[in-house]
Amino acid sequence: MLALSARRPRLAAFVSAVLVLVVSACLLVSCGKKANEIRIGEFGSLTGTTATFGISTKNAIDLAIEEVNAAGGVNGVPLRVIVEDDQGKPEEANTAVKKLVEQDRVVAVLGEVASSRTLAGAPNCQNAGVPMVTPSSTNPKVTQVGDFIFRVCFIDPFQGMVAAKFSVDSLKAKTAGILRDIKNDYSVGLADYFDSTFTSMGGRVVADESYSEGDIEFKAQLTAIKAKSPDVIFVPGYYTEVGLIARQARELGYDKPLVGGDGWVSDRLIDIGGEALQGCYFVNHFWQGSEDPAVQKFIKAYKDKFGSSPDALAALGYDAANFLVAALKELATQDAGGFATLVGTPTSATEQPRKEALKRLRDILAATRDFPGITGSISMDEYRNAVKPAFFLTIDKGDYKVVGAVLP
C-alpha cells in the first residue's frame, strides 16, 4: 500500500510532464509550419567530402529566394526553403527527401548535386507527385526515375563527349588512361561516355582503373596507368579525391595532363591538389568571366552576401530555384485556385486539388523553353533535361582560365 501510494504521485507527475512535452512539441511543429507560405525542400551535402557542393548550392538558393521574397514572393505569398543535410550519403538523401515530402509537405524539392544522391532521393518525389529539380546531377538515369524529375544542367553523354573531343583535337591525345570512382553513378557513367567518344575518334584507352570515394591512396592504380604512358588520364571524380590523385600522379612522375568533368568544381580543389593541377583541364557549367550583365549582377550579389565568388554549383542552384519560381508564378497566373492549395499545409479538403495543382506545376516545368539562366538559356527536352553549352577550363598558376565553350 505504502509503496503504491508513494509511486502514484510520481506517475502523475511523469504523465503530466510527458503531456507538456507532447503539447509543446505539437505547438513547435505547427509554429514551424506557417499558414501563409509556400514550402520548398532542399537536400544536399552540407558536410562530408563534398561539403562545398551542398554549401555553394544552399547559399545561392538562399540568395534567389531572398530576392523573390523581397519582391513580394509569388502572388504575395512568401517562399520558405527547408534544408536537409544528407552528409553526402545516399541513404541519408533518401531519408531527407522522405521527410521533406511526407512531414514538411513541401511543394517541390531542389537537389541534390551528386547523381547517386539524387537517384536515392528522387523516387520519393516521383511516388508522391512532388516535382524535383536537380541543379547539377548529370547522370542520364536521374530524370529517367520519372516524369516529376527535372534538371537544369546538361547530361554526361554530352560532357564526356566534350572532354574526349578536347583531348583528341586540342591535346592531340592518341591514348588515354581512366581512373574512375567505382561506386559513384556519375563517375562510372562519365568514364564510359568519355571512353566511347575517345575510341570512336580513333583514340585508345590503354588503362582503366578504379577507386572508391573516401580513398586517400591511389598510387597502385596510378602506377598501373603510368606503365602504359597514356597521353592523358581522364579522372571523372569529385574534387577531394581528384586533388589527391593529381598530387600522387606527379609524385610518381606522370607529367601529362589530367582531364576531368564538373566534379572537379570546388575552391578546395586547388587547396588540395596545388601545383600538381597545373595544365590540367575540366568541363564546367559556368564561366565567371562572362560579360553577360546578368552573370555579373549575380556574382556581385553573391559576393556581397557571402564574401566569396560563386562557383558553378552556386550558379546552377540559383538557376534551379528561379526556374521553379517562374513555374510557380505561371501556375498562379493560369490557375489561382490550384495555386492557393499549395499555400500552407494541406487539409483533407485540399489534398486532392493540391495533387492536381502539383501535376499542373509539373506540366509547366516540362514546357519551359528559353528560361534565362545564369548558366545559359534553359529549355527542357522531352526527357526533362536542359540542353546547354559546356565550358572547358584549364588550371594555370592556381587560377582558372576558360579555353573554350562547346554548344550542344
Contact residues: ligand PHE, CB under 6 A:
53, 113-115, 136-139, 186, 262-263, 265, 312-313
**Identity of the residue, 124 or 139, whose beta carbon is nearer to ligand PHE in the bound complex:** 139
**Identity of the residue, 39 or 388, whose beta carbon is nearer to ligand PHE in the bound complex:** 388
Q: Is 174 helix (H, G, I), strand (E, B) or coil?
A: coil
User: Are 113 and 52 a contacting pair, CB within 8 Å?
Assistant: no
| Least distance CB 350 / ligand PHE (angstroms) | 35
Write out the H or E segment, with its range, that includes residue 5.
Answer: helix 2-32
Residue nearest to ligand PHE (CB): 186
Distance between alpha carbon 333 and the CA centroid of its chain, in Å? 29
For 224-268, give the DSSP string. HHHTT--SEEE----HHHHHHHHHHHHHTT--SPEEE-GGG-SHH
**Identity of the residue, 94 or 341, whose beta carbon is nearer to ligand PHE in the bound complex:** 94
**Identity of the residue, 186 or 339, whose beta carbon is nearer to ligand PHE in the bound complex:** 186
**Identity of the residue, 106 or 113, whose beta carbon is nearer to ligand PHE in the bound complex:** 113
| Least distance CB 262 / ligand PHE (angstroms) | 4
| Least distance CB 319 / ligand PHE (angstroms) | 12
Count other Cβ atoms within 10 Å, centred on residue 304: 9
| Least distance CB 90 / ligand PHE (angstroms) | 12
Residue 318 C-beta-side C-alpha neighbours within 13 Å: 27
| Least distance CB 57 / ligand PHE (angstroms) | 9
**Identity of the residue, 111 or 203, whose beta carbon is nearer to ligand PHE in the bound complex:** 111
Question: Rounded to 10 degrees, what is the CA torsion of 274, 275, 276, 281?
Answer: 90
| Least distance CB 317 / ligand PHE (angstroms) | 10
Sign of the four-CA dihedral 46, 125, 367, 154: positive
Q: Is 329 exposed, middle or buried (0-12, 13-18, 19+ CB in 10 A)?
A: middle
- Measure the CA–CA gap between 262 and 255, rounded to whole angstroms: 22
- ∠ CA 402-407-408, nearest 5°, is 135
What radius of gyration, in Å, describes the C-alpha atoms of the chain? Answer: 24
**Identity of the residue, 136 or 341, whose beta carbon is nearer to ligand PHE in the bound complex:** 136
| Least distance CB 260 / ligand PHE (angstroms) | 10
Strand ranges (E), 143-186: 149-151, 175-181
**Identity of the residue, 52 or 197, whose beta carbon is nearer to ligand PHE in the bound complex:** 52
**Identity of the residue, 288 or 341, whose beta carbon is nearer to ligand PHE in the bound complex:** 288
| Least distance CB 50 / ligand PHE (angstroms) | 8
Nearest by Cα to 302 from 3, 66, 38: 66
Backbone angles phi, psi at 256, to 5 degrees: -95, 170
| Least distance CB 284 / ligand PHE (angstroms) | 7
